[in-house]
A and B are shown apart, each in its own frame.
Chain A
């Protein structure tokens, strides 16, 4: 019976099909499950976090709208600049509405939390110790940075942590949480990052979180919390004579985003400018910091000279002495504070050696304004120094007490958590 010879063939077919049938392996397709199986792929997830941070800060020139464009120190040639500069933040303009939405910052937090999970699951065959520390430090620093931005822009914010998702965090609690992650990140991150060729790379270190950046971030957070002495200790213990050569700035690398509305040249002189009148007020004749700008009397504007167009500086090295000065001052060390301020303000015409406890704050605020244009920190500084109504005169001190310095919440941002619009913006709706 010849037919019987076929039975094993048929059986073989059936059994083979059985075994292989319920697994599929796709080409040209990245699938979420099991994707992060190498250090390189985990690094892609780290980079994903930076791309989201870039989206959060660069979409609609948000970092300036939350900062110098809101105070009028810089103008951005977009239609909604006027609404922002006149504090009409509940305007119907859809770009202003997008600016009131915090979605991108929470994307960064999700990225960082995912990343921490991925790193926890990765065994030693995937990540060596250096990689593990670096990526974990970056995730923590990204998360800390995102919460810190949220708290400084919106005041009280909801938590996106698993343990208390959606729960309202007071501004102080949010920044305390952020500071704890920044502290952990600072311990994990190296001074310098190593590129694919195994060489310490300045340009790579500039655009990823490093020990300098995490320390600056932590100091900023401690200062925001009013812990001057803590900040002073952090700075003093980390930035020593021995580490002076290892310092690095931190900023966002600019590149092609899948979302095309993200500007690739964020401080483009055609778009971001300082009105000449404002420029002359901030930088009196003779102040050498005027050299940071190109001046066009024809256009009546000054534009920032960008030395490195590949990045947007968020935590420049020149801020470190300003942070020292502020930390020392708030920690009750006025003379050290003056020394740091004088160091930081090289090129100023003023004599800062005569500053007193009462005049120091104004001088420091002035110098931060002069040294840090384009980093998006102006409004945060005004809040920290209690000077919002002075420099944004449409707000009374009562308005500021009611929450005017913070941004209103978009309709989307009010959904799914226990927050409500603060009383100032509620009255403007």
Chain B
């Protein structure tokens, strides 16, 4: 086992992208492919913000938005180049990247550079992660099986360090516990020949986490088959069907705004979440001649999510609450392209692709929820919501649909094998905007200096544009029901906000430059620089109150993100009996405000009002007295990972350490919360807390002051993964016809070194440990498993 990281220019179509061969790195005990990527790719930040199993870690790949909590910083997720729904469902919070086992994955390509990204247009402003699945290998049949099992635990769980300390403390300590089982079993059968190849299998994964009686489970069936219909005509079928479930626990993870006191016995709380996730595609490929081929791929990424909740009266002061929500998300794409290779001379070649893509998102949501007070004589627990009347029950049905129709062209010129020029042009037409079409061009140059200058250096530079879609309400307008006027059913409706005629996507302009040195045949060092500029955000401009509406939309503002990414791969020792390899990656980023709208206090970007040009967009902002000021930065200045693999004869050891530095956490005080009118609009200072406070308004428009008790540094170094493996190799082959067998012990999140006062320095998504603990994760457990891999 060694770490394999190919860098710029390795292959003609793989410029400036990082590729992670999954079998060469330590898999995670936690579900979600992102946990396998964590720490292994320069510039890919994966934040383990919660210990709740089945929940997605925050994934950021050179992503920035004006609202840092926005989902829109998520990279595009591709399966074999086909887009899939990658963000977690709002209903269940189950991570679509947990629909697969890491064992199904051959390699993961992390695409950061603009001359590749522009080909995805408005889909990939924040980079793309292409998960390439394993295919059948030649041979009649192979059977591969692997399994692991172990337990979760939180080392040194001091309950006073729990983010939830001071709130619902006893109940929470009751539901936390070491020893939640985590286990996985996979079986894969594959083969290949002239007919093509096949691979199918099934997988089972369970993680009971750290909160008793909760947990996550996945069962999946998958098929990856290629069939050569004729020597020129081939078909590719891929299918992955996953059933996932996630059970919640009141004291462990529910909203902390529920009223106190809270029960200890939660036997009757129900919170069941279920996802059915399907990723499927069919591709057809026709090779007319060696230089010319046509292909078309139709794909479906589908997710049905449901959640059922019941909270008994002992929690809700005599009321019972029940809710049921189902949602469907579906992404259909059809991508048709022709590819043409032309050799002008011995030293000039052209690889050209022209294609079009149709992408349709169709989401539906139906929900019913209600609360009912307990009638005398009823049981505390068996009473269900029967009063389906307007006062008690809310019902909602919603539908959202978006279509993008695109044409794209990619031209790759290769000169004397040394110089590559990538030209990309994509145009996206969307169903959203009045001005439908947007153009995304990019140009990249990659040069290998080895032959001409005899220097082992590859250099690349690229510039181009992508875009981020606006939210539906801006281009669709808003019509609202006001309420009954008479007869109980004559609904008043008003045209609140007309569609924003000038709505358009946010423009993202990206510059990349990089150098890669082969210091010798065993050591490669690369440094990449990027600079992204985001322009034309859509925001609300608040109108005077004689307008009859609260705001209108405007576009403007500009922010920037730039950074350096360093990567070092070293094969220090490579002998028959002993080898040692290392990967070190570091990314140092800076984001900043470039320009903000005039009179920003009268816009929906007012929260950025304290920032001026050059300040970080991710600044933490609070009031001191009547002045807003920057009190920290929620984003890390730098982050990365160090992996080492040592092998001695049949034993190998892997260690991956992840780290980040420079992020701040502002903790809201549990005791300094005031209504502004009750303290005469003067925030009262407390001696043990900071003088800073934030303001918000409650449902009735009353202003609330929230004090900040302290600001801490959330820098950390974490022993993220470690594994010890014994390879039986071919010694069992003669005896038991086993081609390979490995036994391993593997640990996740074993040690975290940080000055942060809580349990997990990454637990606050927004960089603010909120009083109600929204956007804050549950304790992140460590886990230790024993596993076995077999190849028959």
Contacts and interface: CB of A to CB of B under 8 A. Distances in A.
Q: Answer whether A and B are interacting partners.
A: yes
Interface of A: 2-3, 6, 10, 13-14, 17-18, 21-33, 35-36, 41, 44-45, 47-52, 54-55, 92-94, 98, 101-103, 106-111, 113-114, 118, 158, 160, 165-166, 203-204, 207, 253, 255-259, 261-262, 310, 412-413, 415-417
A93 B476 CA distance: 38
A92 B430 CA distance: 49
B478 interface: yes
Contact of A31 (B230, B404, B477, B486): B477
A98 B364 CA distance: 38
A92 B495 contact: no
B728 interface: no
Nearest to B361: A24
A106 B481 contact: no
A375 B441 CA distance: 66
B491 A22 contact: no
Contact of B700 (A14, A47, A261): A261
A25 B677 CA distance: 47
B482 interface: yes
The 3 closest A-B pairs by CB, nearest first: A110-B548, A416-B544, A32-B477
Interface in B421-445: 429-431, 436
Contact of B399 (A27, A50, A94, A259): A27
A17 B488 contact: no
Contacts of B701: 94, 98
Contacts of B484: 255-257
B486 A160 contact: no
A257 B488 CA distance: 10
Contacts of B482: 47-48, 51-52, 55, 257-258
Interface residues of B, number: 61
B401 A26 contact: yes
A28 B398 contact: yes
A412 B405 contact: no
Contacts of B404: 21
B548 A111 contact: yes
Contacts of A3: 230, 232-233, 286
B568 interface: no
A107 B700 CA distance: 19
Interface string B477-505: 11111111110101111111111000000
A107 B484 CA distance: 17
A39 B399 CA distance: 25
Contacts of A417: 544, 546
Contacts of B476: 31-33
Interface in B377-411: 390, 397-405
Contacts of A14: 334, 336, 356
A332 B364 CA distance: 69
A253 B485 contact: yes
B449 interface: no
12 contacts: A14-B334, A14-B356, A22-B430, A22-B436, A33-B499, A47-B482, A50-B485, A55-B482, A92-B681, A107-B494, A114-B495, A413-B546
B546 A29 contact: no
B548 A160 contact: yes
Interface in B495-554: 495-499, 543-549
B405 A21 contact: yes
A25 B360 CA distance: 12
B491 A44 contact: yes
Given A22-B430, A110-B547, A417-B546, A35 B495 contact: yes
Contact of A109 (B284, B399, B492, B548): B548
Interface in B298-332: none
Contacts of A32: 476-479, 495-499
B401 A24 contact: yes
Contacts of B390: 256
